[in-house]
Amino acid sequence: MLKIDHLSKSFGAKKVLSDVNFEVPNGKILGIIGKNGAGKTTTFHSILNFITFTGTILWNGEPLTEKDYDQIGYLPEERSLIQKLTVKEQVRYLANLKNMSTKEIYQKLPVWMDKLKVKGNLNDKISSLSKGNQQKVQLICTLIHQPSLIILDEPFSGLDPINVDILRNTILEEKKRGAAIIFSDHDMNNVESLCDSIVLLKDGYAVINGNLHDVRSSFGNTNIFVEAELAISRLKELPHVLSVIEEKDGLYKLTISDEKYGPEIFDQLTHGQYIKVFAQQPPTLTDIFKKEA
């Protein structure tokens, strides 16, 4: 388990992180989210010991050692593959740095290539691969040594939906294996589908920190999804409705001032008659991000 206590960092007079605290248990995924400049990358670099910081970072109750760093897999936001190397050379180089033997690397690499459906051969140069396949190769470099702690910074950037699903399934397999995973993404749908808990950073402060379900529930069931043959003007006239958005033909999202008004709105819409959809839910993580970040 990774435990962060009172993590703070300044660059000169600029405070980048202020008393940040969180935990990542083994077999769980923590999402760290926030606007650009909120402190996400600084948090990652602190864990990886790339920069100095104040506070405490513990792995299984102890300060991280050199041996522990060999058990970390880090996928940075900026891709950093060496273009002139072949796939085999690139993976071997980085995996050797994590104390994997070349023999073991060559045994596991074809399995990972197939698992992530990389379009290319082991002897292809990195420069010949598409951006998406380069990203998959970098993910292989991150995971091939089976790290106990995995940090993924924007892993889905630029990928099509099919490849997003491949990577998502791979991340969930690593979670099932027991790895502690930190995940960051600007697409809140990805965060919501993968993460057990979240930390929302704003100007270096952790303004939200907790179980994802509990965080959403704490904002109340203020979203109502309605599918019915109703004019949007009629929905906007309902009492306690703050906004109405048409999600698609016939499906509307109503934001209400308080969840307690849900039954009243239901009665006004249905009058005891059939309605296709009426679902009262807490705000999505996207809604929360827009409000709090």
Cα-Cα-Cα-Cα torsion 207, 212, 214, 215, nearest 10 degrees, comes to 30
The pLDDT of residue 248 is 80
Per residue in 9-62, pLDDT (tens digit) is 999 999 999 999 999 999 999 999 999 999 999 999 999 999 999 999 999 999
Per residue in 158-213, pLDDT (tens digit) is 789 999 999 999 999 999 999 999 999 999 999 999 999 999 999 999 999 999 99
Q: Is 220-292 the same fold as 2-217?
A: no
Per residue in 48-100, pLDDT (tens digit) is 999 999 999 999 999 999 899 999 999 998 878 999 999 999 999 999 999 99
The pLDDT of residue 78 is 84
Per residue in 244-274, pLDDT (tens digit) is 998 887 899 999 999 999 999 999 888 878 8
Structure-block tokens of residue 131: 């951006």
Report the helix count and the strand count for the chain, using DSSP H and E. Answer: 11, 14
Average pLDDT over residues 215-226: 94
**Nearest Cα residue to 148 out of 186, 122, 114, 174:** 174
The pLDDT of residue 250 is 81
Q: Are 72 and 151 in contact (CB under 8 A)?
A: yes
Question: Could you tell me the pTM of the whole model?
Answer: 0.90
User: Residue ranges per domain, the chain?
Assistant: 2-217, 220-292
Give the number of other CB atoms < 10 A from CB of residue 271: 7
Average pLDDT of the chain is 94
* Continuous segment of H or E residues that includes residue 263: helix 262-270
**Nearest Cα residue to 285 out of 215, 232, 220:** 215
The pLDDT of residue 271 is 84
Q: Are 227 and 215 in contact (CB under 8 A)?
A: no
Per residue in 115-164, pLDDT (tens digit) is 999 998 999 999 999 989 999 999 999 999 999 999 999 999 878 999 99
Select the CATH number that applies to the domain covering 220-292 from these four: 3.30.360, 3.30.70, 3.30.1360, 3.30.565: 3.30.1360
The Cα-based distances of 169 to 31, 38, 114, 115 in angstroms read 16, 28, 14, 10
What are the b/e assignments for 121-139, b being 16+ CB within 10 Å? ebebebeebeebbbbbbbb
In this structure, which topology does domain 2-217 adopt according to CATH?
Answer: Rossmann fold (3.40.50)
Q: Are 174 and 181 in contact (CB under 8 A)?
A: yes
How large is the angle between the packed helices 87-97 and 131-143, nearest 10 degrees? 30
10 Å CB burial of residue 91 (0-12, 13-18, 19+) is buried
